[in-house]
């Protein structure tokens, strides 16, 4: 088996699972002030993902670590070329994490309001920047033997922005569905209603993204070569439609699952299109970073494959189990009674 391909698949899976899991935390965070009309609503929202957000974020750390270990050259160049956006993303993730912890540790309305807005902003910035970054990776970075010729402003090209918007909309929908499924009463109804409202602009952005991708990237070339992979974008589209259908039938949890599939499908669509590149060069394909020219040695890949095949299933097992422990809805009363809650 070609371990480069194994790690390419794993690389894609790590990103996809990260976006699926942190997507609803980012989305719920962005909607925190809109959906949470009062303090107890807001505490329900934060506590709805309180036990799991940290574990969800580790998928990002692992995706980063896997890139480092399996494709060190890609890791080195991707992180240094995208220095400023990654920095802002990092600041967002740092502020978000501490805001959850700090927010309810003081009574004052000003204190809580401050951290509430910090949560909104620090959820929006990473959501947007992940989209912008991946949009630019899909379309390729301006790099050659002399290095990188881009800038922060150049990343904010129209395709980068559309892709940033797509991520933001996907996560908003995802977050609204999550809150709808985890809360009760008025808050849950409000979240469900918002999920219906957000679905239309999400669809518009998704269609625009799929269309624009044809012109701005070479992602579809792989699908022309091997149409069997069209199953990924088709799945994404079908799942997106299913989100609305299930919402219409009042099946919020089903809609959330469909939204999970949508995100997995979108990431798969992009990643399959990239193959065998990790970061294409927009200047000349010669300078693209591929799974072959930027990878670790076979020995390292073998070691890492062994580790991944033993431990990733274990991680998935206990994660699923922990999600089961915290399944069910959360009420304002339960949060108020729990002295250990955020």
Q: How far is the CB of 274 from another protein (least distance, A)?
A: 19
- Please say which residue, 78 or 237, places its beta carbon nearer to another protein: 78
Q: Residue 13 or 240: which CB sits closer to another protein?
A: 13
User: 122 and 99 in contact (C-beta within 8 Å)?
Assistant: yes
154 binds another protein (CB under 8 A): no
Interactions with another protein, residue window 316-335 (CB under 8 A): 318-319, 322, 325-326, 332, 335
Phi and psi angles of residue 39, each rounded to the nearest 5 degrees, phi first? -60, -40
Q: Which of 2, 34, 54, 200 binds another protein (CB under 8 A)?
A: 54
Give the number of residues in contact with another protein, rule: CB under 8 A: 81
CB of 256 to another protein, least distance (A): 19
Q: Are 173 and 198 in contact (CB under 8 A)?
A: yes
Among 81, 130, 178, 209, binds another protein (CB under 8 A): 81
DSSP string, 78-124: HHHHTHHHHHHHHHHHHHHHHHHHHHTTS--HHHHHHHHHHHHHHHH
Of 92-131, which residues contact another protein (CB under 8 A)? 93-98, 100-102, 104-107, 109, 112-113
Report how far residue 224's alpha carbon sits from residue 221's, in angstroms, rounded to the nearest whole number. 5
Rounded Cα distance, 86 and 25, in Å: 19
Q: Does 214 bind another protein (CB under 8 A)?
A: no
Answer yes or no whether residue 185 interacts with another protein by CB under 8 A. no
**Residue 308 interacts with another protein (CB under 8 A): yes or no:** yes
Name the DSSP class of 141: B
Kindly state the DSSP code that residue 145 receives in the 8-state scheme: T
- Establish if 156 lies at the interface with another protein (CB under 8 A): no
Angstrom distance (rounded) from CA 3 to CA 148: 28
User: Kindly report the CA angle at 94 between 128 and 334, in degrees rounded to 5?
Assistant: 95
Q: Are 159 and 209 in contact (CB under 8 A)?
A: no
CA pair distance 175, 197, nearest whole angstrom: 13
Q: How far is the CB of 307 from another protein (least distance, A)?
A: 5
Using the rule CB under 8 A, give the single segment among 49-57, 179-187, 200-208, 210-218 that binds another protein. Answer: 49-57
Give the residue with the Cβ less far from another protein, 284 or 338. Answer: 338
């Amino acid at each position: 088996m070609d371990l480069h391909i194994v790690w390419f698949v794993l690389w894609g899976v790590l990103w996809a699972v990260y976006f699926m899991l942190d997507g609803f935390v980012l989305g719920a965070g962005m909607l925190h002030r809109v959906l949470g009309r009062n303090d107890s609503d807001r505490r329900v929202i934060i506590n709805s993902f309180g036990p799991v957000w940290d574990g969800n974020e580790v998928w990002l750390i692992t995706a980063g670590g896997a890139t480092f270990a399996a494709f060190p050259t890609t890791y080195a160049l991707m992180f240094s070329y995208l220095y400023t956006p990654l920095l802002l993303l990092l600041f967002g993730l740092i502020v978000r994490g501490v805001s959850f912890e700090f927010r309810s540790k003081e009574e004052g309305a000003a204190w809580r309001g401050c951290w509430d807005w910090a949560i909104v902003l620090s959820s929006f910035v990473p959501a947007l920047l992940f989209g912008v970054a991946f949009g630019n990776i899909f379309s390729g970075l301006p790099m050659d033997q002399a290095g990188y010729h881009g800038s922060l402003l150049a990343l904010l090209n129209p395709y980068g922005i559309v892709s940033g918007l797509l991520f933001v909309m996907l996560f908003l929908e995802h977050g609204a569905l999550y809150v709808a499924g985890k809360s009760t009463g008025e808050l849950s109804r409000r979240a469900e209603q918002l999920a219906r409202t957000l679905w239309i602009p999400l669809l518009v952005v998704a269609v625009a993204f799929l269309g624009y991708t044809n012109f701005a990237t070479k992602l579809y070339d792989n699908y022309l070569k091997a149409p069997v992979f069209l199953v990924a974008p088709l799945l994404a589209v079908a799942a997106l439609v299913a989100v609305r259908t299930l919402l219409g039938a009042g099946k919020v949890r089903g809609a959330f699952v469909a939204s999970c599939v949508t995100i997995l499908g979108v990431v798969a669509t992009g990643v399959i299109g990239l193959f065998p590149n990790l970061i294409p060069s927009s200047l000349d394909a010669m300078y693209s970073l591929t799974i072959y020219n930027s990878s670790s040695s076979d020995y390292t890949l073998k070691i890492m494959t062994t580790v991944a095949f033993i431990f990733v299933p274990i991680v998935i097992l206990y994660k699923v189990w922990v999600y089961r422990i915290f399944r069910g809805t959360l009420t304002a009363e339960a949060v108020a009674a729990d002295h250990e809650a955020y």
